[in-house]
Amino acid sequence: MLIRFLAMAAISLWLSVAGAASDPIIPAPPQLAASAYLLMDARTGKILVDHNSGQRLPPASLTKIMTSYVSAFELQKGTISLSDEVPISVKAWRMKGSLMFIQEGTKVRLEDILRGIIIQSGNDASVAIAEHIAGSEDSFADLMNQHALRLGMFDTNFVNSTGWPHEDHYTSARDLAKLTGVLIERFPEHYQIYSEKTFAYNEISQRNRNKLLFRDKTADGVKTGHTEAAGYCLVASALRNGMRLIAVVMGASSESARATESQKLLTYGFRYYETVGLYTGDESLRKVRVWGGKHSSINLGLAEDVVVTIARGARDNLTANLEIDSEIHAPLKKGQELGSLTVTVGSNEPVKRPLVALNSVEEAGFFSRLWDTINLFFLKIFGGDPLRIE
C-alpha cells in the first residue's frame, strides 16, 4: 500500500499544482529538405523533432564521430597517449577523398592525427589511428561496433573508420544523436577539438567544414559528411543559456543546405523549449519516521538530478507527487528504494524517478523494537500517520 503526497505539501519548491494554465502554443516543427533529421536535448535525451530518425542510411564522414569516440575512450583508459608517434602506413597514405596529407613512412603525433580527423575530416588520419589502436582497420571497425552496441545504437554497423561507401556500413540519425550526446558528456576536453575552426599540418591549412561554427557563436561542433550515396550530412550542437541541443541532418542537397537546415532545427528548439533542473541528487525531499531503528527518522531523496525538457511557458503546468511506502522499518541501506517521485508537465508523459534513502539506519535492539511495535500498533488504532515525524 502506498500513501500519496503532493510535492508542494512536502517540499519547498516552485512547482505549481493548482490553477495550472493550458499547454503553451508551439508551432509544428520545420520540415527540412533532407532524408532524415532529428533534434534532441543533449542533457535529457528528449526528442523535439523527428523525421525518419531510425532509417538506416550511409553516414559518410559522420562515421568519424565514432572513430574519435573510440580514440577518446582509449586515451581515457591509458592504452594510447596524445604524445604517441603514429606510424603512417601505405594504406593510410593512399586513401582518397578528404585528407590530412600525411606521408607514408613518417610518424605523426596522435594529437595532430585527432585534429586531422575532426577538423580536416582526413580519411588518411582515420585509417592511421585505427591501425595504431587496433592493429588494422578491420579490427578497429569491430571495436566501433562493440561500442555502438553498448551505447544502444541498434541501427548501426561500421565496416571502416572513415565512412568510405560500403553497403554494410550504415547508421541512423537517432543513433548519431545518442553517440554525440555521450561523446560530449564523457569526453568534454576531447569534444573541445570539434569547435576549432582551422588546423594546419605539413604547411597545409584547412578550415573546419562545419559552417555553423562560423555563423553561430553558440555552435561548438560537431561533424560534416558527404558522399554521393549519403548526400550532405551534418551533426551539429550548440549551447545556449545552459541548454545543449544536438541536431542531425542526413541526405541534404548541398553543403550550404545542410548548414541551413541544421540551423532551422536549432533555432526552433532554443526558441520554443528549455531545459529545467527540478531536483538535485541527494537533496532531502521528505523526512519520515523509521520504526525499529537506531535512529527514529530518515531523509528521502533522489539518487540523481531530475532535469526535464519543457516548452517555454510551461513551468506553471508542472505538478509533482511523492509516493512513499506506508511504513518504513529498519534496517535501511543508503540508496534503498522507498517510493517514487512523479513529475507531470501538462499533457506530456510523466517523468518518474525512484525515491531512495539518503542515509542508512541500523536495526535497534530488542526492547527498542518492541517499544516501537507497541507505539505503531496504537498509532494505527487512533488513525495516526506512521510516516509523520513527532
Q: Fill in the amino acid letter for 150.
A: R
Q: Please check the confidence at residue 3 and state whether its pLDDT lies above 60.
A: no
Query: Catalytic residue among 121, 126, 161, 237, which?
Result: 121
Q: Which tens digit of pLDDT belongs to each residue from 301-327?
A: 999 999 999 999 888 888 999 999 999
Given this model, what pLDDT does residue 186 score? 98
What average pLDDT score do residues 346-350 get?
78
> 81-90, 114-123, 323-332, 369-378: lowest mean pLDDT where?
369-378
Residue-averaged pLDDT of the chain: 92
Q: Fill in the amino acid letter for 269.
A: G
Q: Please check the confidence at residue 170 and state whether its pLDDT lies above 60.
A: yes
Query: Catalytic residue among 35, 53, 61, 172, which?
Result: 61
Q: What is the SS3 assignment for 58?
A: coil
Q: Please check the confidence at residue 15 and state whether its pLDDT lies above 50.
A: no
Given this model, what pLDDT does residue 33 score? 96
Given this model, what pLDDT does residue 21 score? 56
Q: Please check the confidence at residue 17 and state whether its pLDDT lies above 70.
A: no
Query: Catalytic residue among 46, 64, 178, 223, which?
Result: 64
The answer to whether residue 61 is catalytic is: yes
The residue among 388 and 340 whose pLDDT is bigger is 340
Q: Please check the confidence at residue 124 and state whether its pLDDT lies above 90.
A: yes
For the entire predicted model, the pTM comes to 0.88
Report d(CA 223, CA 208) in Å as an integer: 9
Given this model, what pLDDT does residue 346 score? 74
Are 48 and 41 in contact by the 8 Å Cβ rule? The answer is yes
C-alpha cell at 294: 537506531
Q: Please check the confidence at residue 16 and state whether its pLDDT lies above 70.
A: no
Q: Please check the confidence at residue 19 and state whether its pLDDT lies above 50.
A: no
Q: Please check the confidence at residue 2 and state whether its pLDDT lies above 60.
A: no
What average pLDDT score do residues 323-349 get?
90
Q: Pick 2-20+278-381's CATH classification: 3.40.50.300, 3.20.20.70, 2.60.410.10, 3.40.50.720.
A: 2.60.410.10
Q: Burial code of 171-200, b = ≥16 C-beta within 10 A, e = fewer?
A: bbbbbbbbbbbbbbeebeebbebbbeeebe
- Cis ω for the linkage preceding 331 (within 30 of 0): yes
Report d(CA 69, CA 130) in Å as an integer: 12
Report d(CA 234, CA 332) in Å as an integer: 50
C-alpha cell at 390: 513527532
* Sequence spans of domains, the chain: 2-20+278-381, 36-252
Q: Which tens digit of pLDDT belongs to each residue from 69-111?
A: 999 999 999 999 999 999 999 999 999 999 999 999 999 999 9
Antiparallel, parallel or unpaired: β 231-240 and 243-252: antiparallel
Given this model, what pLDDT does residue 383 score? 86
36-252: CATH topology is: Beta-lactamase (3.40.710)
Are 207 and 217 in contact by the 8 Å Cβ rule? The answer is no
Given this model, what pLDDT does residue 73 score? 98
Which residues, including other chains, have CB under 8 Å from residue 14's CB and lie 6 or more apart?
Answer: 315
Report percent pLDDT > 70 for the chain: 94
Report d(CA 137, CA 64) in Å as an integer: 13
